[in-house]
Chain A
Amino acid sequence: MRTVALPRINTAQAWREAARGLLAGGTRPEDVLWSFDDPAQVDLFAAPPPEISAPATARVPKSFVDMANRVAWHSGDDRFARLYAFLWRLRDRPALMQDRGDAQLAHLRAMEKNVNRCAHKMKAFVRFRDLAADGPRRRFAAWFEPTHHTVEPTAQFFARRFGDMDWVIVTPDVTAHFRDGNLSFAPGNARPDLPEDATEELWGTYFCNIFNPARVKVQAMTSEMPKKYWKNMPETRHIPQLLANAEARAREMQAAAPTLPPLRAERISAGLADMRAVATRDSLDSVHTQIRACTRCALCGPATQAVPGEGPRDAALMVVGEQPGDTEDRVGRPFVGPAGQMFDRIAAQAGLARDQAYVTNAVKHFKFQQRGKRRMHEPAHKSEVMHCKWWLEAEVALVKPKLIVAMGGTALLALTGTKEGILKRRGQIEETAHGPVLATVHPSYLLRLPDEDARETYTALFRQDLEKAAEYVSQVA
């Protein structure tokens, strides 16, 4: 039987070195007795510690090392023996680390979870008090009672967080000192007498007032903040009082009759309304403002913003598309997405100056279906097109174009009442209530044609349509 004595400070490292030596010597788990920080408890029949001649190495999965570095801080007496027994099995079966159904591994993982939770609670529940030291660095101290030996592995966290002050965390187990940027550990102490700190009062005030008496969930609180931690946390002394009054306070809030608003409320609300009623420069601006605030149909909900038309107020040519796409919806301007860029390119080839035309859409909001992280375009229903026609008509009436180019079925539906037979009607000028309308396909149709030849044919036709529009406008003007 071999006895390995492990120290209270630097335990995890010591266990790893000992385990490495034992493994190299081929010592079986049942032949090792582990003791922790207790020189008196030595096995009477102990053999001398193993002589290690060559530097001992053992290869194990990294996940085991990480786990052992946590489990070593558990307070259970059997932790070292369990770790070594598992390590012994792991020698020739490294894949064992992936087997979460293995009973021994499950037990170690549970111990690891306990240590992690204890470390996390220590990060959360340590409460420093100001020692009011004069000097360049402020000094703070805390008393804490952890469940496991978590001071040492957790102290690094406090060093990273409170780098510009000196602090000490005293526990019955180990005491951590941080002075001038140096972290050191010493054996534990009894509870020190820390000076009163006035900030604890303020903290208590905050704790009491952030609590909402209308929703009491005591179990949700105690499961995350177990009572064993309460005695060292200044705010917890308010809890009984808060719970005792909560129900009455909530009832009172519900029962209280609505009060009359204070006098100043009316004055402020009136001032705010004045501020909002901004005078508009001309009516197209006002139409655009109203479009941005439109809630006439359900499309306004999911879309980012409405996209009104853009272009000269007296343009001879108006181009009507279908609806804003993903890009237009984010940017808030029409014809800036892929289809818009394609339109710009072909229009330039056709001799049609984009900045001379007023471009807008038949539907002002983006309609889409959410698929994972992507927003897939969806055609607007007839009822939505008809609702939105109100705005298109307002734009047509104000701009008074000589010719309207309707691109795609939706625009055609809005301007002529039907979208049937678009491929037959394209290239022709129809007389409508809104003036002459030239029907053509939408550029996104060209983008979506899978067949290379068909795309070229239809792109050429689209270019012809735009040339025709340019010619018509130059003749009328």
Chain B
Amino acid sequence: MVKTLSEKLAILSDAARYDASCASSGGTKRGSRDGSGLGSNEGSGICHAYTPDGRCISLLKILMTNFCIYDCAYCVNRVSSNTTRARFTPEEVVSLTIEFYRRNYIEGLFLSSGIIQSPDKTMEDMVQIARLLRTRENFRGYIHLKTIPDAAPELIAQAGLYADRLSINVELPTEAAVAAYAPEKNPATIRAAMNDVKAGRAASKDRSHTGKRPPKFAPAGQSTQMIVGADGSNDATILGQANSLYGSFGLKRVYYSAFSPIPDSSAKLPLVQPPLVREHRLYQADWLLRFYGFSVDEITSVTNAGNLDLEMDPKLAWAIAHRGLFPVDVQSAPREMLLRVPGFGVKTVNRILGTRRQRGLRYADLQRMGALLKKARPFISLRDWSPGKLVDTADLRARFAPPPEQLSLF
């Protein structure tokens, strides 16, 4: 039976929704003001709509096909699943992207795929779509291609020339978990592919001896995704893995995706869904690693059996465990220490540094600078504010933790 475009779109977007990444930021600045093409990219991404699951729609996120020869337990498209299958032709993907883009529904295309025939064949088709968009349609919007593990490096090199961002999912935090749940995937080849992309990006920045620049290669970098809660790994393992990915392959982002039940799920998987707040805490810890100067050891030192506190954010948990360092004198503390105050973000800290060069700070100033004083109060001192014994009180944790809840009888 031949499926209509609408039916295919329903099946293949349904299959793509477990990819958390939808970012359209980074990339080269370009536009079509001269009328020679369609689309622009201005560096910062735009979220064009939000679905009731709180995730944004920035890119048209679809699979080229959900036929797949692999049997990964957590995936709705695995070969042993009875989900309905469909396949787009390259022309259909191109026309959907262009028509949606012209109506300002999307920033561009996020194309992923199940693996058909062979990894190389699949990757070739995906590169073909990107090429049509860029060369025939003169499309200047964002393209994010999911690279297929085990595809030939030449194809990945081609993909990097058309796409803004490349990504490949490590899926699970440990080798053992990958072997158990995704037996056909090989973590070593996934890492090798990330390494290739990193090398390609580095090579594209080298000028030749005449000063000529090589073509841009995946200018918005690469990202990856880890599923949280499908295997038994704790948060310390996940963060350690993320940190080494950031360091080794210069990833722009690691996405954490709380394992969510899928239609027609495999008997191998746990039926309990991890709390969504766990995913949130991991993102907070990830930010502390990248922008606040925390090390993995510092964050995991205050965890309970390697798992982050679900009741409060990791920075607050760290501050409560290290009260000896507080209160911090906002007027004179160094930047590194200000970044460790709960309730102070990077922007707030920059504003404090800018203002305190001019004059002395007061409590009301911090309010205007966007600090969350309810959180910061016990940990700071100013000329008109002192926390007194607040930072040493025994019930400091209880002030921030949500009130205890009575268990339901029913």
Residues of A within 8 A of B (CB): 95, 98-103, 106, 120, 123-130, 138, 140, 142, 157, 159-165, 181, 197, 199-203, 205-221, 224-225, 233, 235-236, 239, 242-243, 246, 250, 253-254, 256, 258-259, 261-262, 264-265, 268-269, 271-272, 292-293, 295, 300-306, 330, 332, 370, 372-375
Contact = CB atoms under 8 A, between A and B. Distances in A.
Contacts of B40: 157, 160-161
A129 B103 contact: yes
A210 B52 contact: no
A137 B241 CA distance: 51
Contacts of B365: 100-101
A142 B32 contact: no
Given A161-B40, A165-B38, A221 B195 contact: no
Greatest chain B CB density within 10 A among A99, A123, A161, A197 is at A161
Contacts of B260: 212, 214-215
Given A129-B103, A216-B53, A254 B261 contact: yes
A372 B248 CA distance: 10
Contact of A370 (B39, B49, B244): B244
B13 A374 contact: no
28 contacts: A95-B358, A100-B351, A101-B355, A106-B368, A140-B102, A160-B40, A163-B35, A163-B36, A164-B37, A165-B38, A181-B34, A199-B99, A203-B103, A206-B60, A211-B53, A215-B258, A216-B52, A218-B54, A220-B54, A225-B50, A243-B52, A246-B52, A261-B79, A269-B69, A272-B70, A292-B188, A301-B174, A305-B191
A268 B79 contact: yes
A219 B358 CA distance: 39
Nearest to B173: A301
Interface in B192-235: 192, 194-195, 198-199
Contacts, number: 258
Greatest chain A CB density within 10 A among B48, B184, B187 is at B48
B82 A304 contact: no
Contacts of A106: 368-369
A292 B80 CA distance: 29
A256 B264 CA distance: 7
B361 interface: yes
B358 A98 contact: yes
Contact of A100 (B80, B262, B368): B368
Contact of B48 (A124, A164, A218): A124
A221 B369 contact: no
Question: Interface range on chain B: under 10, 10 to 19, 20 to 34, or 35 or more?
Answer: 35 or more
Interface string B232-260: 00000000010110111110000000101
Given A235-B49, A370-B247, A138 B102 contact: yes
Given A164-B36, A220-B54, A130 B6 contact: no
Contact of A375 (B10, B241, B248, B265): B248
A205 B9 contact: yes
Contacts of A216: 52-54
Nearest to A259: B82
Contact of A211 (B17, B39, B195, B364): B17
Contacts of B46: 120, 123-124
A200 B99 CA distance: 10
Given A203-B100, A259-B82, A330-B199, A215 B34 contact: no
Contact of B32 (A163, A197, A236, A304): A163
A239 B102 CA distance: 23
A262 B244 contact: no
A133 to B, nearest CB: 13
Contacts of B32: 160-164
